[in-house]
Amino acid sequence: MIIAHELAHQWFGNLVTMEWWNDLWLNEGFAKFMEFVSVSVTHPELRVGDYFLRRCFDAMAVDALNSSHPISTPVEDPAQILEMFDNVSYEKIMIKTTYKVMVFAGAANSRPQARYLWHIPLTYITSKSNTVQRFLMTTKADVIILPEEVEWVKFNVDMNGYYIVHYEEDGWDPLIDLLKENHTAISSNDRASLINNVFQLEYIVHLFEELIEAQSWSDEGSVSEKLLRHSLLLFACRHRHRPCLEKAEGYFTEWQKSNGTLRSVL
């Protein structure tokens, strides 16, 4: 993959390059994209396309942070130039090149703090039809009228759009049942995007909530029980589960007041 990336730079970055560092994405984004194109052609047995979604998820996670920036950002000194060598420059434009999605068509010239209402090209399939349906969402709250009653709707078919989907209220339940009982009814890309969306939206905490609430905040139990407790409580707090945060903050305050002598808490 690295060799393919650097070979691509012989054309995109060396022979042809950007006028200034603010458009670093022209070099790195396309070279990153060519990693997958080149290796897929020369070594199809490696199935690097299966790894592409992981890169997409990583880029979206970084792009969701407050530290994210437009792919084209003004730079004036060496320190700012070095800051441009990040996942946004390398991978976000790779995804834009591949998916050809119009959702972020104007992002290259946007400001970090700007708020835009993007037109989102939704795609979806249902429990009654595998035919991909398309709908351009142009407002904050559009309505899609289905021709018949369905058990589930899966948006962003094959993860071909640069957006994540939250299925409010009971929308997640039939999709979770589908993954448990008949996961091959949807593609591997769709399965991966559902799981990623669950984690990104922190809905996963809801699925483990009963198990999380059953954990004690002590150092008791077997080694496996302690490891499970540690993993679940750490997971809950990292995903800002309110009861977990309140409990952790309370014990931390007690520990501070005890001058570091409190030992009975996990």
Spatial separation of the C-alpha atoms in residues 63 and 215, rounded to whole Å: 34
Q: Give, to the nearest 10 degrees, the angle between helix 204-213 and helix 223-238.
A: 140
Spatial separation of the C-alpha atoms in residues 106 and 116, rounded to whole Å: 10
CB within 8 Å of 184: residues ≥ 6 apart? none
Residues belonging to the chain: 266
Spatial separation of the C-alpha atoms in residues 113 and 118, rounded to whole Å: 15
Spatial separation of the C-alpha atoms in residues 26 and 34, rounded to whole Å: 12
- Kind of pairing between the strands at 153-155 and 120-126: antiparallel
| Annotated catalytic residue 151 | no
The single residue of 6, 213, 249, 254 carrying the catalytic annotation is: 6
DSSP assignments along 122-160, one per residue: EEEEETTEEEEEEEEE-SSS-----SS--S-EEESGGG-
Spatial separation of the C-alpha atoms in residues 254 and 105, rounded to whole Å: 51
Spatial separation of the C-alpha atoms in residues 179 and 175, rounded to whole Å: 6
Q: Which of the residues are catalytic?
A: 6
